[in-house]
Amino acid sequence: MTAASSTKRDYSLVGESTRRAIETGLASAEWYHTDVPRKTMKELMQRSDGPAIRDTIIWIVAILGSAAGIVWFWGTWWVVPFLFVYGVLYGSSSDSRWHECGHGTAFRTRWMNDVVYHIASFMLMRNPVQWRWSHARHHTDTIIVGRDAEIAVMRPPDLIKAALAFTGILDFRYSLPTLVRQAFGTLSDDEKSYIPEMEQHKAVTAARWHMVIDAATIAVAIALRSWIPLVLVGLPRLYGTWHMVTTGLLQHIGLADNVTDHRLNTRTVYMNPISRFIYWNMNYHVEHHMFPMVPYHALPKLHELIKHDLPVANPSIWHAYREVWPVLLRQLKYEDFYLKRELPPTAKPYRGEFHDLDITAAAAE
């Protein structure tokens, strides 16, 4: 276990790391894929409305039911379990719905993906236009510093920020002012770097719609002299985010950056069925990044098919965090340090053209 000399990372999308990523060919590079016969992949990619309609009905019924419980029991301690359920459904499971519908893989029917995508984007306080493009970039340049707009924990890690993320406070503090700024017609340089010019006005329009609904919610709360409208719309982003952060942080944290093999920078974790419902199977995250065309309901099958070529999945969320924690502590001193996950003997080895140059010296196996 060693560490290389520190390389300062510039996480802006228009800075020194961006220039270096483009110059070295890390940006928009060819990524490693496990071989899967075309016929098999075609079967796995097949779309169907059925599973997502079923899951969405359960989701909506659970949201409405827990919201009714909040209204009914407001002012008593009985409201707490309903807040717990509603918060997670609103503030966490909306993330996976946003994600899958953004990819267009949840439903076969396009408009169904679009409707759920926009609803989930609102729940998350995410500009649906901006985030569609940032996520496309995340898939093109996964954890490439200076290119990926969705790196959750940067190096050296800010552990206080990471801990606060579980409360949703930081995300709320970022998302709301961002939407306000965008509603006034201003996109940042980073946003302009991944949203094509012809789409930028759509991002402004979407931000304005979000602001209108938020303002209407506040107006209703004032008119009713009640906190309930805000507890149901907006604030779950604070009290219900913890599950999204618990599962989402594990996707890439502590693993390599600036590599072109998802086996090195992405993690698959086995999770309990409730978390998998909330997360829509995104715990199979290496599989998702390698083959984003495969719908969430087919990911377990894909995992079985290609796991011989992947690092062994973490057996639980707890196990994954126990693995990550010492890596984060080490990165406080040596930001180049990362966890290099061992491949099984049946797997094809990691390619060396990018990986060996920059990071092998900093890896722990």
Partner 1 sequence: MAEWVEACAVDDVDKEDVIRFDHGGRSFAIYRSPDDDFFATDGFCTHEMAHLADGLVMDDIIECPKHNGRFNYKTGEAKGAPVCVNLKTYPVRVEAGKVMIDIG
Tell me if 339 sits within 8 A of 254, measured CB to CB.
yes
Q: How far is the CB of 103 from partner 1 (least distance, A)?
A: 5
Instruction: Say how far apart CA 287 and CA 298 lie, in whole Å.
Output: 10
Q: How far is the CB of 42 from partner 1 (least distance, A)?
A: 7
User: Considering beta carbons, is residue 198 or 223 the nearer one to partner 1?
Assistant: 198
Which residues lie below 8 Å from residue 190, measured CB to CB, with a gap of 6+? 12, 13, 14, 149
User: Considering beta carbons, is residue 108 or 181 the nearer one to partner 1?
Assistant: 108
Which residues lie below 8 Å from residue 69, measured CB to CB, with a gap of 6+? 78, 79, 81, 82, 85, 86
User: Considering beta carbons, is residue 102 or 146 the nearer one to partner 1?
Assistant: 102
Q: How far is the CB of 45 from partner 1 (least distance, A)?
A: 5
Assign 193 to helix, strand or coil. Answer: helix
Tell me if 143 sits within 8 A of 26, measured CB to CB.
no
Question: How many Å from the N-terminal Cα to the C-terminal Cα in the chain?
Answer: 8
User: Considering beta carbons, is residue 139 or 181 the nearer one to partner 1?
Assistant: 139
User: Considering beta carbons, is residue 39 or 225 the nearer one to partner 1?
Assistant: 39
Q: How far is the CB of 25 from partner 1 (least distance, A)?
A: 13
User: Considering beta carbons, is residue 231 or 299 the nearer one to partner 1?
Assistant: 299
Q: Is the peptide bond before 295 cis (omega within 30 degrees of 0)?
A: no
Q: How far is the CB of 141 from partner 1 (least distance, A)?
A: 10
The identity of residue 63, as a single letter, is: I
Q: How far is the CB of 27 from partner 1 (least distance, A)?
A: 11
Strand 338-339 versus strand 363-364 pairing type: parallel
Contact positions vs partner 1 (CB under 8 A): 28, 42, 45-47, 103-105, 108, 110, 129, 132-133, 136, 139-140, 196, 198-199, 291-293
